[in-house]
Amino acid sequence: MKGPGRRTATRRGTDPEAGRAQPANEDGRAGGERVNDLAFKIGTVNGTGSASANGLLRSAIFRMGIPVSGKNLFPSNIQGLPTWYEIRANARGHTARTSRFDLVVAMNPATYGRDVAETVSGGWVMYDSSWPLPRELDRDDVTFLGVPLAKMTVDHFEGSRVRILMKNICYVGALAALLQIDLAIVRQLLRETFAAKAKLLDANFQAIDLGYDYAMEHFDCPLPVRLEPMDGNRDSIVIDGNTAAALGCLYAGATVAAWYPITPSTSLVDAFTAFCHRFRKDPETGRNRFAIIQAEDELAAAGMVLGAAWAGARAFTSTSGAGLSLMSEFIGLAYYAEVPSVFFDVQRVGPSTGMPTRTQQGDILFAAYASHGDTRHIVLFPADPRECFDFAVEAFDLAERFQTPVFVLSDLDIGMNDWVVPTLEWDDSYRPDRGKVATAEELEAATGPFHRYLDVDGDGIPRRSLPGVHPAGAYLNRGSGHDRFGNYTEDSEPYADVLARVGRKIDGSAPHLPAPEIELREGARIAFVTVGGCRGAVREAVEVLAGRGIATSWMRIRAFPFHGEVEAFLKRHEINFVVEQNRDGQLRKLIVAETEAAKGSLRSILYYGGLPLSCHHVMDGLAPWLEAVAPATANGVQPEGAGR
Amino acid sequence: MSHIRKPRVHHPGLARNRLGLTRRDYEGAMSTLCAGCGHDSITAAIIEAFWELEIAPHEVAKTSGIGCSGKTPTYFLKEAHGFNGVHGRMPSITTGAHAANRDLVCIGVSGDGDSLSIGMGQFAHVVRRNVDMLYIIENNGVYGLTKGQFSASADVGSKAKRGQVNREHPIDSVLLALNLGAGFVARSFSGDKEQLVPILKAGLRHRGFALIDVISPCVTFNDHHGSTKSYQYTRDHYNRLVYADFVPPAHEIAATYESGDARTVKLHDGSAITFRKVPGDYDPTDRDRVYGYIRERQRSGEVATGLLYVEPALEDGGNASDFHGIQGTVPEPLTECAFEDLCPGADALAKLQGRFR
């Protein structure tokens, strides 16, 4: 398998160049030593159990105190198709996706070509040398690290399933040696995972050692691009957004969840179910203080949420774009009949079925105005799992306070990938904001009749009453035309009166929604405006630009209808580059439609290919402007992130 | 007639139930349906059933979809909350309401278009889920509000007002519900209040899903010669197959029946249904035979009516397979759970996050 031209690492000392850093390449990257600033990925076949091995690597790096992210690129498939896990560790906290990998672990022959090609010049490819790599994959500027993983596992373990699993653990061991991942931490993580399975633990320890020892013996470990313990993760956790959102629902007191399985939102309800079983059972009877209903479709899921919310429960559904399309008739009903309801939309690539396991921000416009007729909705845009937790709680409060559907627009990257975020916090003095709900006592004491849609307080928010509480609170909730007293109407004025009031109510919600996150830079003429999970890549771009002497402010919009600060920010800058992950510039369109900001000051930087946004997407989008305005600077801009 | 406002003061001599309420207290707004509409007769039977069962109106949740049937919850129980949702989706709304507050007495009113066309999926799944509700299909074989199109329950050969003949096979909600495992299945006729009221009462007391499909002629669009859902056709082909009396929990079974004719089936709350004049080989608790018998009557051109099938209660009166039985929920409504019992608190959150490090 070794041939002239292939740079293959061998035993330390026999080849002076083996495993050593290459001279700085044309990008000026990968040269010399680099500590706590690297990206690597593992290409495997889905269904081979690599997820736990990859999670082990990510957790170990996290425990070393290094900011890290883990992104799983997986197919819409059960078994047999290519899948990748990408890990980026960065001391400065830049953990957005990067598409340039220092090291690639190529475990899937079907993607060898692609995996080798995606390795950065001067980087390393680790592969299973039980079989030769095809010669056409040869690259002079990449070092190949052959580890006979299959052979080792066949020699040391029995049973095909165990061998497949241990092969994964073997590469963890080899990577620990190459990247200088703390082996004690890896062993401790395995101990925690297999606390009750001593036999499995022994096998895992053995597999780790096999990989580690092989690498130590055959390569010059560690590589110049490596990791060292630091203290960057104090008070942080690693969590995905769906788990965090589920925790938010648990803590907010949601009791009814209705849903239909759809990638990438399913794990939100799965997590909610697990948390409920752990925390929501009556300790004496073991009975459930929750109802989770797997509906026949998304229409039914939405109907169940509305029915439960109307009856007084905090109820939610979790779906993705295709499901939201199906729910849209009910969304209009919730808006017009003023039923507090929470919709999590974990966005994936559309339109139609699109790419179910890839990420996008394609539902922004749809969520803002979902359903026919005049509708306008409260939409929250979390940037990371921490905000998924906070916004989940806030969504229930807002829904009940404003008696309207509230959307939490997460996406696949936020929802299903592993993020390092500050520890979730909870204030035990929190009590749900149920909004204006007439109690039995109030209804009993009232001198006049109760009218469901009467704007008693002048804020556009009427009082509601719950079924089963008091006969004086009875009303017929309906999506058909109704007047302020809740009666059916087909008359212009009483109909328009209610619709205008509902509009005022939503307008009035803006100051109560999460304000935008803003960082103003002195002297900045340009700014980035972004939303959701683009945050990391945009911040990284801001740092890259600062390094080139270009001051850039940035704003991340966190809710719709827009907070007053949004427009004020936009008017401060000559050009606002609106960075988002869709084809049509949906956030930009929403800004144009909903603010007085000059349309010409808003320029789109778009990426909609389905992978999490990278700094280079932002810089690529900015390149035409840089060339036109600041050519000298443009030449100096690196294609990749600030940490490189 | 809808311009007439109902008087708010009741005649002092009106009969009162044990809650001190008159039948008038169980009424709603004046109907805006066509004079003679079968739906109004069903509304009257609903009012009678609730009054006789002495259920406080505000403990009821009444739900509906879209169509003429969708309007009817306005016409009964004005002191009950109602939810008139979107077309064909009454089942999901009722499921949600029942999930949140299991103490609500749920009654859903639907139509043949609402349940058997646009909402057939939801109808099927609410049966499967065994939601504790009384589900009424006001079945007239026609779309009234959109002026006379056939519905999915229209019989082959039935003629529309403008003369078209339906050639597509009907969907029979009763056979469908039996197939899907419904524990209470009935068919009646809006013109037979004597049969309808006891079935409604039994359906309201049955724990779990109860279906009653009521042939309810549309006087404007489907009451002509050649229609199989007209008053005349229904009367001519109507077979009061099963006579059932509803016996409340505290009452002795007082009616006397000729030996061999009567059969009593207990419901979950201790009430009972007494069947009389059941055909010799008919067993209202044998799903397969009931199914076969209805098919047989249909082949001979009869509409078999009555409480056709009922699943007896378990010995302890419970129903482990109803919605909340399957869900394993606490006995009190979820809406009444204290927030302290729902939110695990800051300490638990801190501890939980150990696994995310």
What are the pLDDT digits (tens) for A321-360?
999 999 999 999 999 999 999 999 999 999 999 999 999 9
**Token pair in block for residue A580:** 């988002």
Minimal Cβ distance to B329: which of A291, A469, A479: A291
What's the pLDDT score for residue B275?
Answer: 75
Q: Using the beta-carbon criterion (under 8 Å), do B91 and A297 form an inter-chain contact? A: no
Question: For residues B83 and A304, what is the distance between their CA atoms, to the nearest angstrom?
Answer: 12
Listed residue (A245, A314, A273, A242) closest to B328, CA to CA: A273
Report which residue type is found at A436. K
- Which contiguous run of DSSP H or E holds residue A246? helix A241-252
- Which residues in chain A are contacts of B92 at CB distance < 8 A? 258, 295, 299-304, 307
- For chain B, the structural domain boundaries read 23-335
Q: What are the DSSP E strand ranges found in A508-570? A: 517-519, 526-531, 552-557, 559-560
> From its phi and psi, is residue A190 left (phi > 0), alpha (psi between -120 and 50) or beta?
alpha
Q: Which one of A69, A243, A290, A330 makes the best mutation probe of the B interface by having the most chain B beta carbons within 10 Å? A: A290
What's the pLDDT score for residue A458?
Answer: 96
Q: What is the mean pLDDT of chain B?
A: 90
DSSP state of A243: H
Question: For residues A344 and A265, what is the distance between their CA atoms, to the nearest angstrom?
Answer: 8
What is the pLDDT averaged over residues B305-328?
Answer: 83
Higher-scoring residue by pLDDT: B81, A22: B81
What are the pLDDT digits (tens) for B215-249?
999 999 999 999 999 999 998 888 887 777 787 77
Higher-scoring residue by pLDDT: A132, A395: A395
Within an 8 Å CB–CB cutoff, is residue B325 touching chain A? no
Residues contacting residue A618 through CB under 8 Å, at least 6 positions apart:
A528, A537, A538, A540, A541, A579, A605
What are the pLDDT digits (tens) for A457-516?
999 999 999 999 999 999 999 999 999 999 999 999 999 999 999 999 999 999 999 999
Confirm if A386 and A346 have CB atoms less than 8 A apart: no
Report which residue type is found at A30. A
Q: Which one of B60, B101, B133 makes the best mutation probe of the A interface by having the most chain A beta carbons within 10 Å? A: B101
What's the pLDDT score for residue A356?
Answer: 96
pLDDT tops 80 at residue A635: no
pLDDT tops 50 at residue B182: yes
What's the pLDDT score for residue A31?
Answer: 55
Q: Using the beta-carbon criterion (under 8 Å), do A307 and B83 form an inter-chain contact? A: yes
- Provide the pLDDT confidence category of residue A395 given band limits of 50, 70 and 90: very high
pLDDT tops 80 at residue B5: no
- Which residues in chain A are contacts of B353 at CB distance < 8 A? 237, 423-424
pLDDT tops 80 at residue A127: yes
Q: How many CA atoms lie within 13 A of B86 on its CB side?
A: 23
What's the pLDDT score for residue B274?
Answer: 78
Q: What are the DSSP E strand ranges found in B103-189? A: 105-111, 133-139, 142-143, 149-150, 184-189
| Nearest chain A residue (CA) to B105 | A468
- Which residues in chain A are contacts of B80 at CB distance < 8 A? 467, 474
Within an 8 Å CB–CB cutoff, is residue B354 touching chain A? no
Question: For residues A448 and A468, what is the distance between their CA atoms, to the nearest angstrom?
Answer: 20
Minimal Cβ distance to B92: which of A238, A290, A300: A300
Count the Cβ atoms, other than its own, within 10 Å of residue B309.
25
Gyration radius (Cα) of chain A, Å: 27
| Nearest chain B residue (CA) to A336 | B85
Q: How many H helices and E strands in chain B? A: 12, 13
Supply the pTM of this predicted model.
0.94
| Residue A9 φ then ψ, to 5° | -70, 140
What is the helix, strand, coil percentage profile of chain A, to 5? 40, 20, 40
- Which residues in chain A are contacts of B339 at CB distance < 8 A? 253, 431-432
Q: Which one of A296, A342, A396, A429 makes the best mutation probe of the B interface by having the most chain B beta carbons within 10 Å? A: A296
**Token pair in block for residue B197:** 């009221």
Confirm if A68 and A89 have CB atoms less than 8 A apart: yes
| Omega prior to A222 cis, within 30 of 0 | yes
Confirm if A567 and A580 have CB atoms less than 8 A apart: no
Q: Which one of B25, B30, B86, B129 makes the best mutation probe of the A interface by having the most chain A beta carbons within 10 Å? A: B86
Q: How many residues does chain A have?
A: 644
pLDDT tops 90 at residue A23: no
- Provide the pLDDT confidence category of residue B262 given band limits of 50, 70 and 90: low
* A270–chain B nearest CA distance, Å: 16
Confirm if B265 and B284 have CB atoms less than 8 A apart: yes
Q: Using the beta-carbon criterion (under 8 Å), do B84 and A282 form an inter-chain contact? A: no
pLDDT tops 90 at residue A80: no
Within an 8 Å CB–CB cutoff, is residue B97 touching chain A? yes
Count of A–B CB contacts within 8 Å? 226
pLDDT tops 70 at residue B328: yes
Question: For residues A120 and B252, what is the distance between their CA atoms, to the nearest angstrom?
Answer: 87
With H, G, I as helix, E, B as strand and everything else as coil, classify residue B73. helix
| Omega prior to A612 cis, within 30 of 0 | no
Count the Cβ atoms, other than its own, within 10 Å of residue A34.
17
Count the Cβ atoms, other than its own, within 10 Å of residue B183.
23
Listed residue (A24, A21, A23, A22) closest to A638, CA to CA: A24
Q: Using the beta-carbon criterion (under 8 Å), do A303 and B96 form an inter-chain contact? A: yes
Q: Which one of B334, B336, B352, B353 makes the best mutation probe of the A interface by having the most chain A beta carbons within 10 Å? A: B334
Confirm if B124 and B199 have CB atoms less than 8 A apart: no
What's the pLDDT score for residue B314?
Answer: 67
**Token pair in block for residue B357:** 């490090």
- Provide the pLDDT confidence category of residue B301 given band limits of 50, 70 and 90: confident
Confirm if A122 and A78 have CB atoms less than 8 A apart: no
Q: Using the beta-carbon criterion (under 8 Å), do A467 and B349 form an inter-chain contact? A: no
Report which residue type is found at A207. A
What's the pLDDT score for residue B151?
Answer: 93
Determine the angle formed by the axes of helices A615-629 and A535-547, rounding to 10 degrees: 40
Within an 8 Å CB–CB cutoff, is residue B124 touching chain A? yes
Q: Domains of chain A by range and CATH?
A: 34-226 (3.40.920.10), 239-422 (3.40.50.970), 440-495 (no CATH), 517-635 (3.40.50.920)
- Provide the pLDDT confidence category of residue A78 given band limits of 50, 70 and 90: confident
Q: How many H helices and E strands in chain A? A: 20, 23
* B259–chain A nearest CA distance, Å: 44
- Angle (nearest 5°) at CA A391 between A389 and A397: 120
pLDDT tops 90 at residue A201: yes
Confirm if B275 and B307 have CB atoms less than 8 A apart: yes
Q: Using the beta-carbon criterion (under 8 Å), do A329 and B122 form an inter-chain contact? A: no
Listed residue (A193, A181, A166) closest to A68, CA to CA: A181
Q: Using the beta-carbon criterion (under 8 Å), do A288 and B124 form an inter-chain contact? A: no
Q: What is the mean pLDDT of chain A?
A: 93
Determine the angle formed by the axes of helices A321-337 and A492-507, rounding to 10 degrees: 120
Minimal Cβ distance to A311: which of B78, B101, B346: B101
* B45–chain A nearest CA distance, Å: 20
Sheet holding B243-247, edge to edge: B243-247, B272-276, B263-266
CATH number of this structure's domain B23-335, picked from the four choices 3.40.50.970, 3.40.640.10, 3.90.1300.10, 3.40.190.10: 3.40.50.970
Within an 8 Å CB–CB cutoff, is residue B330 touching chain A? yes
Listed residue (A474, A478, A451, A452) closest to B79, CA to CA: A474
Which range has the worst mean pLDDT, A128-142, A276-290, A508-522, B254-268?
B254-268
What's the pLDDT score for residue B184?
Answer: 96
With H, G, I as helix, E, B as strand and everything else as coil, classify residue A456. coil
